[in-house]
Amino acid sequence: MGRRKIKMEKVQDTNTKKVPFSKRRSGLFKKAAELATLCNAEVGILVFSPGNKPYPYGSPCFDLVVERYNNESEDSDSCETSGNGRRNRDRQEKRICKRLNSIMEQVEVEKKRGEDLQNQLETAGEEKFDKPIEDLSLEELKEYEDKMMNMHGMIQSNISQMQVSSTLMLLSIDTQNN
Domain boundaries, the chain: 18-76, 82-124, 131-172
Give residue 131's pLDDT: 74
Q: What CATH number is given for 18-76 in this structure? A: 3.40.1810.10
Give residue 165's pLDDT: 81
Give residue 78's pLDDT: 45
pTM above 0.85, yes or no: no
For 133-167, give the DSSP string.
GGG--HHHHHHHHHHHHHHHHHHHHHHHHHHHHHH
What share of the chain has pLDDT > 70, as a percent? 84
CA atoms within 13 A on the CB side of 71: 8
Checking if the pLDDT of 122 tops 80, the result is no
The secondary element (H helix, E strand) that includes residue 110 is: helix 82-123
Task: Provide the pLDDT confidence category of residue 80 given band limits of 50, 70 and 90.
Answer: very low
